[in-house]
Amino acid sequence: MNHFLRPLFFAVVVRPLMMIVLGTNIRRQEGLPRTGPALIVANHNSHLDVFALMNILGLKQLASVRPVAAADYFMTRPLRRWFATRIVGIIPIDRTNTKRDPSGRHPLEPISEVLRDEGIVLLFPEGTRGEPEQLEAFQSGVAHLARRHPDVPIVPVFMHGLGKALPKGEAILVPFFCDVFVGEPLDAGLPKKEFMQQLGERFAELSAESRPGYEPENPRTGPVPLK
């Protein structure tokens, strides 16, 4: 990664975009990890999702934050590959590879390496961008990571609004406010089936918070404008 251009890009381009052009509110910001290793799992409706998450984590943590992204999309063109790896700092994963390679390397090993190096990994368990503000089926990779790293906190985050600001297939940005809801950490010790059920239930709860008129039974912290 480029250790000069990366923070410059996020300070000069991403932060003004997310704070001035779009605007961001975050509920329960204290639930976000302050240090790694940590795994943040989030819904995925837009290319802006990565930038929103990295922005709310802050510039001080930027060096340790690595989003997981599809190698078949970001690594095929030289300019896109340079930007994705050098500026965004993606962990490229082959979505078609579900088996170990001939050397015995697990397909999720690149993510494990970052977690062992005390990084903060951003993972989108839907696997690809879905329709605006709609949750797609979750893939089980996050359950395998939970089993590989039982001591690493897994924090669910639901984002609302970015799918309308820059939906899949669109190139024109439409100013639309972004609300971010941070959930309680997941129980990584559950069996795979129960873990995936827990994941779905947690996101259903966070998604419900984004709907007009929602009133939690046990309110904690209201939405706080990100400073």
Strands, E assignment, the chain: 24-27, 38-42, 65-70, 91-93, 120-123, 154-160, 178-182, 224-225
The first and second tokens of residue 72, run together, are 């078949």
For residue 72, give the nearest of 93, 99, 100 by alpha carbon: 93
| 5-95+107-211, CATH topology level | Glycerol-3-phosphate (1)-acyltransferase (3.40.1130)
pLDDT band, very low/low/confident/very high, at 220 (cuts 50, 70, 90): very low
pLDDT band, very low/low/confident/very high, at 195 (cuts 50, 70, 90): very high
**204 pLDDT more than 80:** yes
Q: What is the pTM of this model?
A: 0.86
**219 pLDDT more than 50:** no
User: How is the chain split into domains, by residue range?
Assistant: 5-95+107-211
User: Rounded mean pLDDT of 7-20?
Assistant: 92
**225 pLDDT more than 60:** no
pLDDT band, very low/low/confident/very high, at 63 (cuts 50, 70, 90): very high
Over the stretch 123-179, which tens digit does the pLDDT of each residue have? 999 876 556 666 778 888 999 999 999 999 999 999 988 878 876 666 677 778 889
